[in-house]
Chains A and B, each alone.
Chain A
């Protein structure tokens, strides 16, 4: 059996999420689909699941053209998908979840389903109590439930979409064993992940996506650095930035422990000096996001101390830290960065002269907005709503809204999804700020960006800092190895 994905394209706004993506996969092999977040993996999965409609291209199974215009079609065609978030219903029992969408009978055939369920569970050694509400299950168990359900539908293709994001190592072993067993039985398996070491461990071949395009395919095993290069782009810095004199310590974090969602961190010691740029390298979910958000105060730490300048930040909330000069720029620009339905002028008014004035001088704000639009080269007018701006211009607006007295800037993926011109512009801004004694901490999934602009790179893995490199000792291979969880 062969699944052919032929020249699939799909775009959102003016960005291609999938641009001429082609794959060909045979049954009996486990095929990896590797790429960072935003590389286009989940768009492809959603097209295969019938959730999104493709704009161009064809999907064939055994040379038969598939029409996947709804999930129902996809299920009928024999495609089963284990979604990143298991598609379960929390208040319902395991057995009811197993049943929903899988039967045509009027009365829920619980007895028959129970038999099938236990058969499948026995075969794959899943330990699930059919009567427990799913809300009490771990994510790993919810996956097992979903796998069991998918198998009951007797699919030909199984797609595992980022299945290991939230499960324990033991559960992961179990999952891998299941995947391998299925593959040996002749199932066509696609393993979608951004985790290099997992793809390397389980897949027979891999296709790497980067910025919506196929960056390359490899037979496995192959050197991990080659995969990293396909994922992150060129390994060597292409720009030289001028080194400048660093100042005293700006911020320290010690024994920091924090959890947000499924990401938890334990950072024993971190320091940044004035005028220093620290890049955080790490595969998505390795703790960079929680680290940045905990320092910014968007997420409260469980324990540890954070000191900024002479201020102890423990016990202060985000707003107090904002006043003390910390500025956080999230990756989700319209979700957390800006207010979609407000205009640029209104954004200016919102952050302008914090306490002093309760009455807004709209004329002044309008002029100020026009001024900032010119200064930050934003494509828009003072009356443009944030949602009408392109990603690059939204990012520029976030810069324009930064308090002038900010001295520590925390950025998540500062240039993700931006055109080259915007990305360069943003870094020129950041370099200027650095010259004004600002400390900058940023996370990125772009090697070129990390290696070009960081004075120092720290590498995160599983919530800890596992490596630290000064600019003169940057070693891309070592960084790549540490990111994937290996020792040097």
Chain B
């Protein structure tokens, strides 16, 4: 399965990417139209529904936070040539660890939030590290290791919610009892937006950007991802780098989980990861593994997720339409870019002969 490693199949230029995005947007609009969504109305509702007033903007932001963090996590591991599909599970375990702190410890709020973030990060790191260990020591492909551990995490969270952490008296999959309000991340007024969470997401994206752009570690990681043998000859300790990538990716995912319990749900629920780990794969593929672009795309995807609620309310369109749009956007963009680079390749071969 080593060839799967080769992730960067095409070098997307900005022009061809923009062109591809335009084509796929057009296609998505056409598809929406066919499924009964008038394009202008739909677009207007999307903007209104996601940015129209303070409540909606804050809702969109709070979808953006975990998605951006999960994307940051994936960018780091993608750079090392890894398919870290286990991000979803790392978010869950981060949420479990953060919930543990929120439930069991009593401290002044800022301290408690800090402890939750640390615990969540640690939880995600633990789960990411486990995937890394399986990959490096056990020779288990990280796709299946990560996927497997995600399901184990899912099992764990269900067990906790209906078992040891069940609400007094009733065992239900609707979640644990809400945390003490001390453990709730502070929000602006009555809105759901939490500056602390926004800060964490921005910090995560910036950290990943900075590491890959400016740090020796980031460069070594990229070198390892492209050609581990040559990287090792040039003095890079490749296994250590892979492990660090898993650990760091895990921390970011774990913090995403912390935000999910600390700022959004205020309790542990079985679907705590919200599918952000998987959605982030789409984001990063579309963002060409770049932090800034992925941050923006995360926001756009969050807009779709929140705005499409209005499609449902006002146009009676199904709630899954947002997801369909996201999927088609990414698929078509990748295909169009690949066609462009294929044309370029053929031209190059022709020129050579």
Contact = CB atoms under 8 A, between A and B. Distances in A.
Given A350-B220, A358-B215, A360-B216, A339 B235 contact: no
B233 A341 contact: no
Contacts of B215: 358-360
Given A298-B233, A322-B235, A341 B216 contact: no
A346 B219 contact: yes
Contacts of B226: 339-342
Interface string A330-350: 100011111111100011011
Contacts of A330: 233
A98 interface: no
A360 B214 contact: yes
Interface in A306-360: 318-319, 322, 328, 330, 334-342, 346-347, 349-351, 354, 357-360
Contacts of A55: 353
Nearest to A55: B353
A351 B236 CA distance: 9
Interface string B213-248: 011110110110011011111111100000000000
Interface in B126-171: none
A77 interface: no
A318 B215 CA distance: 23
A298 B226 CA distance: 19
A126 B223 CA distance: 48
A337 B233 contact: yes
Contact of A350 (B8, B214, B223, B353): B223
Given A319-B237, A358-B217, A359-B216, A342 B232 contact: no
A401 interface: yes
- Which size class do A's interface residues fall under? 20 to 34
B233 A342 contact: no
B201 to A, nearest CB: 23
A401 B234 contact: yes
B306 to A, nearest CB: 38
A339 B216 contact: no
B282 to A, nearest CB: 24
Contacts of A335: 227, 229-230
A322 B232 CA distance: 11
Contact of B234 (A339, A341, A360): A339
Interface in B180-231: 214-217, 219-220, 222-223, 226-227, 229-231
A333 to B, nearest CB: 9
A360 B222 CA distance: 14
Contacts of B222: 342
A252 to B, nearest CB: 24
A328 B227 CA distance: 17
B216 A336 contact: no
A466 to B, nearest CB: 30
A351 B234 CA distance: 7
A424 B235 CA distance: 28
Q: Which of A334, A357, A359 is packed against the most chain B CB atoms within 10 Å?
A: A359
Contacts of B223: 339, 342, 346, 350
Given A342-B223, A350-B236, A351-B235, A337 B216 contact: no
Contacts of B214: 359-360, 362
B264 to A, nearest CB: 34
Given A340-B226, A350-B235, A360-B219, 15 more contacts: A298-B233, A318-B233, A319-B235, A330-B233, A336-B230, A336-B233, A342-B222, A349-B216, A350-B223, A350-B234, A350-B236, A351-B234, A358-B216, A359-B216, A360-B215
Interface of B: 8, 214-217, 219-220, 222-223, 226-227, 229-237, 353
Interface of A: 55, 298, 318-319, 322, 328, 330, 334-342, 346-347, 349-351, 354, 357-360, 362, 401
Cβ-closest 8 pairs across A and B: A339-B223, A339-B230, A341-B226, A336-B229, A339-B227, A358-B216, A339-B226, A336-B230
30 contacts: A319-B235, A319-B237, A322-B235, A330-B233, A335-B227, A335-B229, A336-B233, A337-B230, A337-B233, A338-B230, A339-B226, A339-B227, A339-B234, A340-B226, A340-B227, A341-B226, A346-B219, A346-B223, A349-B216, A350-B219, A350-B220, A350-B234, A350-B235, A357-B216, A358-B216, A358-B217, A359-B214, A359-B215, A359-B216, A360-B219
